[in-house]
Structures are given as structure tokens and as C-alpha cells.
Amino acid sequence: MRADSYLKRLMADLDRWVQDGLVDAQTAKALGDHARAQSPSTPSSPILASLAGLVIGLGVITVIAANWSALTGIIRLGLAAFLISAAMLAAGYLRDRALYLASNITAAIAVLLAGGGVIVIGQLYHASSTSSAFLSLWTLIGLLITVMLRAPLAGAGTALLALLWSLFHFGETGELTRLPEPIWVIPVLVGLGALGWTWRSLGLLNVVFLTVIIWVSWNVVELFLDEFRAEDDIRVAYALAALWAGLALVSEALARSTTVFSLRSFSGWASWAAMGFLLAGLGTERVLNSDIMMGIAAFSLAIFAGLTAYGAAPGRRWLRGAGVFGFIGAAIILFTYSTNLVTAGVTLIVFGGALVALLIVTNRMLVKAREQAS
């Protein structure tokens, strides 16, 4: 939790406790003064420090780039090592000063600079290697920087690098081509997930969850599709929708019965994935007739409506968002399979009104839940 947000909430709570007679005004003032003394002096200092560091770093890189061709290989290597080391030392210093945002951004810059360092080494020793090998080395260096600096933002960037490493490599002409069987990315993502869990970093875990969902979905497509035929696309889309919907239900059930803080976040990402693949399947369906498709789309509307209503409870905004967007997408698909304009118009009016009613009901449920919580 950010210090300024905590301080604002604490001061509001102290005012309410004084009004309710739980603490006296003198004690409340003493607690408020103590909290303000322990908080950072200016909440904007990490942002300003990050901005200043970013501007200085970009300036240095620009000057070096302008004179890059005039530098020898050894000087290029020394500059790359110096910039990476300086960024890492700065990140460590900022972390010791409790400037966590600035430290995270500086560590992420160090990961970016590491990619440039790998390129310089390859140029210096005339290494002929694939872009997959370049991404693999960059990913491992990023993982090392993340561990050394305890930087969730650098870990998030490393997770995205691992995804690129596993899914793509650049061909000889520069185009993106598929890279099959990237099994070795699993320990990287598991390690980053373990770091996010240890550091209680929901941001890092969110990126890892998203990366895992994309990675698994891509490999399922690669496993079952030799050629991208429409009817096969539809089957795989429905299978992936069922897979992620099942995992979302399981993780949501576990979140209700345990105190694992990240399960509900994974449930939200899985719900979005299930919604996307279901809508993709419905949108590309060409095998079934229009009447059957209208029935399936209407059934999907009911499912998304229920998901929206269930997501009205506090802490389930991911599910609520997936339900609303899924509801809108299913309504559009239902419109496209309507047999005439009158039916389509009536369909949109009915389900549009149902969506408005659903949103009103969920908002009232949210207000009621907040009142009970307070």
C-alpha cells in the first residue's frame, strides 16, 4: 500500500473514531503526528526522482548513440557495462532510501540496458546466433537483476521477455515466425511467480498470470492446429474457453475458502480469457445454422449476466468487467445472427434494457456491501 494512501485513510479513520468516542482528540492527534513523521516527506518524490533519472538516462544514451560509430568495440562494451552497473547501483540506493517506485523504474531500465549490452557483446565477438538465443540471454539477465534488486517491475518486464522468447523469433528477413515447444520458459515463470508471492506483489503476479494464459493458449493452438482451418479454429476456441472457465471457477472457489491473496486475480484473468475465446468461437462459427447460433448466443448472454451479478461483490471487479464486456459481445453476436432487422432491433432493445437493469442491480449490491463493510 502506498504511504500517502495509507496516511489519508488513517487520518479519516482517526476523525471518525474521535466522533464515535473511541479515542480522544489528544490521542488521535498524537497518532496522526506519529504517522506523518514516519511517512515519506513528499509523496511525489519517487515520481520526480524517476522522471529525473529517466530524462538523464535518455540524454546519456542519445549522446552515446550520436557518437556510436566512432567508438571502438572495447569502449562500447565498457560503456554498456557502466550504464547497467550504474542503473543497478542507483536502484539499490533508491530502495535503501525507501523510494520503491523510483527503485523499480530504475531496475526496469537496467533490464532494458541489459538487452543493449547483449547486442554489444554479440557485435564485439561477431557472434552469429538467433534472436531466440538473444532473448534467452536477455531474459536470464533480467531474472538475475530482478532477484538482486527485489524489483517487481523488472520482474514484470522479464516475464514479458520470457513470453517473447518462448513464442517468437525473428527470421532472416525480420518477420515474426513461430517458435514451437518452448518448455524451458516454465521454470522462469514459476520463479517469477514465486518471487511475486514472496514479495506480496500483486502487480508482478498479474503479469505472470497473463503471461501463463497467453503461453498455454498459444501452445494449445500450436498442438492441435497444423493449418488454420476455420472449423478447427472454432473447436480450439471453445476448448480454451472451457479450460479457462473451469480454472476460473476452481480458483474462485479456492479464493472463497482460503486466504491466498492472488487467487481471485488469477480467476479474473482466466474469466477474461474464457470470455475472449468463447466470443471468438461464436463470432467465427460457420457450421451451425442461425437459429442454433442465436440460442447459443442467448445462453451466453445469461452466463455473462450471472457473472456480472456475481462480480458485484467487493474484490471481484475482474469478474464484473469480464461479465459486462462478455454480455456486450454476446449481444452483438446475437444481432449478427438475427434473421431480419426487426428481430435484430428488438433483440438489441431487450438485451440493452436487461444490461442497464443488471448494472443498476449490481451497483446497488455494491453500495449495500460497502455499507455493511463500514
CA-based torsion, 147, 151, 154, 159: positive or negative: positive
Residue 171's pLDDT is what?
45
**How far apart (Å, rounded) are the C-alpha atoms in residues 62 and 65?**
5
The answer to whether residue 296 is domain-embedded is: yes
Count of the separate structural domains present in the chain: 1
**How far apart (Å, rounded) are the C-alpha atoms in residues 82 and 317?**
44
pLDDT in tens, 214-246: 988 887 877 776 555 545 667 788 889 889 989
SS3 content of the chain, % helix, strand, coil (to 5): 80, 0, 15
User: Residue type at 318?
Assistant: W
- What would the grid cell of residue 156 be? 514484470
The answer to whether residue 371 is domain-embedded is: yes
**How far apart (Å, rounded) are the C-alpha atoms in residues 166 and 211?**
10
Range of the domain at 244: 225-374
Question: pTM for the full model?
Answer: 0.70
The answer to whether residue 285 is domain-embedded is: yes
Could you tell me which of 8, 53, 49 has the C-alpha nearest to residue 32? 8
- What would the grid cell of residue 3 be? 504511504
Could you tell me which of 44, 157, 188 has the C-alpha nearest to residue 102? 44
Q: Is 50 in contact with 105 (CB distance < 8 Å)? A: yes
Q: DSSP secondary structure string, 253-306?
A: HHHHHS--TTHHHHHHHHHHHHHHHHHHHHHH--SS-HHHHHHHHHHHHHHHHH
User: Residue type at 348?
Assistant: L
Report how far apart, in Å, the C-alpha atoms of 26 and of each of 8, 18, 19, 23 are. Answer: 18, 9, 13, 8
Phi and psi at residue 40, in whole multiples of 5°?
-60, 150
Residue 60's pLDDT is what?
67
Residue 202's pLDDT is what?
85
Residue 213's pLDDT is what?
92
The answer to whether residue 242 is domain-embedded is: yes
Q: Residue count of the chain, please give it.
A: 374
The answer to whether residue 6 is domain-embedded is: no
The answer to whether residue 317 is domain-embedded is: yes
Q: Per-residue pLDDT for the chain (374 aa), expressed as one digit of tens each? A: 445 556 677 777 887 788 777 788 888 888 877 776 665 444 444 455 556 666 766 676 677 777 777 777 788 888 888 888 988 998 898 888 877 888 888 898 898 888 888 878 777 776 655 667 777 888 999 999 999 999 998 999 899 888 887 776 544 444 444 544 457 788 888 999 999 888 888 889 999 999 999 988 887 877 776 555 545 667 788 889 889 989 988 888 888 777 777 788 888 888 889 888 887 877 776 555 666 777 777 777 777 777 777 776 666 777 777 777 787 777 777 777 766 667 667 766 776 677 677 767 767 776 776 677 65
Residue 296's pLDDT is what?
74
**How far apart (Å, rounded) are the C-alpha atoms in residues 251 and 260?**
10
The answer to whether residue 262 is domain-embedded is: yes
User: Residue type at 316?
Assistant: R
The answer to whether residue 344 is domain-embedded is: yes
**How far apart (Å, rounded) are the C-alpha atoms in residues 134 and 365?**
51
CB atoms inside a 10 Å sphere around CB 75: 13
- What would the grid cell of residue 360 be? 443498476
